[in-house]
Chains A and B, each alone.
Chain A
């Protein structure tokens, strides 16, 4: 798929318009080539009937949560040195009588290179903007790196390791959060790709001061979590890849013991 749109200013306007919708956190260690536009859209589902309380005790929940999220991510190569990105999402969260539907946070950020000459080692800064009056702003700062012989952009065969960390600086009383991950990626061919990652979240607060988080509202209260993610990605056409991932929270504090699955499609629209 080729887009004859090359005017960078026009592209920026389009991106800004897209980003007027709420979004969730999104991070990557990859820089886009100048004028390259990357798009990813997906649906996540997760469910939980137990949760760890703020002392780390696993307890039954009064209801079984059932959460759907539709998310979209955009990345655009502004120049060799800067990649702009944004995410938006639509959430449907249910647990018993508690229902919350609507736009979630949206994120607008910029990514730069830690290493001028090779890809995969980046810094990020992003602004998280709530879509609701009750939401909170946050500034996200991150560092990411990848190692190995696999080139992610061209999806060549090979292996790679990735690791990265973000710090969320939330507005108001919400505690700062550290979010990190380590990921192993194996691509036996250009068409297929397997991955496994561990994602760790940690509340940067004296844990004795953690307040009990209502179900599905962990962002505003602070939480710890170790999450396992297993993924498979398949090239489905010249321009599109499909990814399917399964997630499971292994251990946590102030967070649901959820299991989930996600399906997404991605494409490089212009390169």
Chain B
């Protein structure tokens, strides 16, 4: 990135470091403005009301000379708790804006990166999945900018028509708050309490009930034949594969649509809601809403993560379908190409980073102007950085977990962190080596955990990196005057072998903070106060480092390593960042 310096927009961070982002490398996004007019009291209420209230208000969408009246309400479920609200506009009968009567405007209050949903839908579209178009919009309410929104095309017949599935099919969605749209034969509530039928608009759930019965009754050994007969199998495989890639466990009992096409006679899955993905975790030890909206991070949840769903379970348990799933996953992360399938390597770190960096550059001007997000630009930048780190770490993890020496055994197909509090998910010590150029990620074999990431200044330079971590324990050797409890409970050792005697570049180290119980924080409460220390030649040296408190990473641009000399790193706070001092 240093070589792009003239093209970067740089910010001075709180820690005194300079943080740069691409400024002019990406073609600007075409973002249309949606101008809304409504009574000023209604507008104030809409923006500030109790999130549980579902009331609507009169609104007029101004489209040039056209004035399109309708109703507006806040949208989303948990995300309604966010300061930046999502909106749902329903225009009066017969009126449409860009072909849509219903406008779903996602404020992305729960996704400060503004790109999680967008990235996922770009992947699905590249795979040919039926799904909503997404468009970034600027929303202006009574002349006041509300920031950038993501308009998701309303899921309805016209969308399916575009994919050759006809517009007259049956469309279902799990009742979000009841958590029982899992296709299990023993649903905790009745089918009409677990599922909402969007179309046709009558209360006949017999098709869905028949599907649920058949999914549960079909023996696993015959599930591949059942799947091909009943489903658009690719839609299921893509749904599962992308969920596995972005670590989305929040889907299988509430966040997806089922569409039964009368044209093909088959069911399709339409995935939904990816704001809490790419490393976001559910912290079962915290009360709601902190349990959902927190800065914990993981990339090592197993592929079968998430609620029980027989469609998922039987797909993973049927050898033929499992092989197809593995082939799709290998295709997506760039291990093996599937013939005739689009989207090869779309989840490889290289391609994803390029996408993310482009979006970041495109969105940055919008974020600066956003009345909610612009107040803390670093939240956006840290989230974007965390997504990039997640992609790198997740692909490393999946290569080990699914394609490693020990074959993935998805026998335990239902796992959720809240049901099995775990000890630290790795041994006391891990070590590994990696060789390459550009970005060299050292991943612990057999575990899939990232031990170090090195990016030499010269991206052509081939280096070999050996990394070792002492995990879950206080560092044994510390800078003078530093208490071990004030340190991340981990010690990193890194050595680099290169043809050059010295290597400059960037080093990223990570620590664990999966939830409020399972972490390596020791007594550290303010992660942003962490300082990185390097021990070399018998002396400790403080190193300028950026802390990403979401990704749980420390990144320094002062790598400056002598070839084949091992560096020891620890991360500690001074007294102000530890528990008991506030």
A binding-site residues for B, Cβ under 8 Å: 1-2, 4, 31, 33-36, 77, 79-80, 116-119, 151, 153-154, 156-157, 238-239, 271
Contact = CB atoms under 8 A, between A and B. Distances in A.
Contact of B178 (A117, A118, A157, A238): A238
Nearest to B189: A238
Contacts of A80: 42, 45, 49, 53, 55, 57
Nearest to B46: A80
Given A4-B203, A80-B45, A238-B178, A33 B54 contact: yes
Given A33-B55, A77-B55, A80-B57, A117 B50 contact: yes
Given A2-B192, A238-B189, A119 B44 contact: no
B52 interface: yes
Nearest to A154: B52
Contact of A119 (B53, B56, B57, B287): B53
Interface in B172-202: 178, 189, 192-193
Contacts of A31: 53
A1 B193 CA distance: 7
A157 B287 CA distance: 10
Contacts of A34: 54-56
Interface in B300-318: none
B48 interface: yes
Nearest to A157: B287
Nearest to A2: B192
Nearest to A151: B52
7 tightest A-B contacts by CB?
Answer: A80-B55, A34-B55, A33-B54, A117-B48, A119-B50, A33-B53, A238-B189
B45 A238 contact: no
Nearest to A117: B48
Contacts of B49: 80, 116-118
Contacts of B55: 33-34, 77, 79-80
B54 A271 contact: yes
A11 to B, nearest CB: 15
B41 interface: yes
Contacts of B178: 238
B50 A116 contact: no
A186 to B, nearest CB: 15
A117 B47 CA distance: 9
Q: SS class of chain B's interface: helix, strand, loop or mixed?
A: loop
Nearest to B41: A116
B45 A153 contact: no
Given A34-B56, A238-B189, A238-B193, 7 more contacts: A1-B193, A2-B193, A36-B54, A80-B53, A80-B57, A116-B49, A153-B52
Contacts of B57: 80
Interface centre among A2, A31, A238 (most CB of B within 10 A): A238
A7 B45 CA distance: 24
B50 A118 contact: yes
Interface residues of B, number: 20
6 contacts: A4-B203, A33-B52, A36-B54, A80-B42, A80-B45, A80-B57
A186 B84 CA distance: 30
B44 A116 contact: yes
A77 B53 CA distance: 10
A190 to B, nearest CB: 10
A33 B51 CA distance: 11
Contacts of B50: 117-119, 151
A67 to B, nearest CB: 37
Contacts of A239: 193
A115 B45 CA distance: 10
Nearest to A34: B55
A48 to B, nearest CB: 41
Interface string B50-66: 10111111000000000
A157 B288 CA distance: 10
Contacts of B48: 117
Interface string B360-373: 00000000000000
Contacts of A157: 287
Contacts of B287: 157
Nearest to B180: A238
A1 B191 CA distance: 11
A116 B192 contact: no
A229 to B, nearest CB: 26
A77 to B, nearest CB: 7
Contacts of B203: 4
A116 B45 CA distance: 7
A126 to B, nearest CB: 22
Contacts of B41: 116
Nearest to A120: B50
Interface in B401-421: none
Interface in B196-236: 203
Contacts of A36: 54
Contacts of B189: 238
B76 to A, nearest CB: 15
A117 B54 CA distance: 13
Nearest to B201: A4
Interface in B224-260: none
A154 B288 CA distance: 13
A239 B175 CA distance: 13
Interface string B23-58: 000000000000000000110110011101111110
Interface centre among A1, A77, A80, A151 (most CB of B within 10 A): A80
A65 B68 CA distance: 64
Contacts of B192: 2
A155 B483 CA distance: 45
Interface centre among B44, B54, B56, B193 (most CB of A within 10 A): B54
B263 to A, nearest CB: 27
A271 B178 CA distance: 14
Nearest to B203: A4
A239 B193 CA distance: 9
Contacts of A1: 193
A25 to B, nearest CB: 26
A116 B44 CA distance: 9
Contacts of A153: 52
A156 B53 CA distance: 14
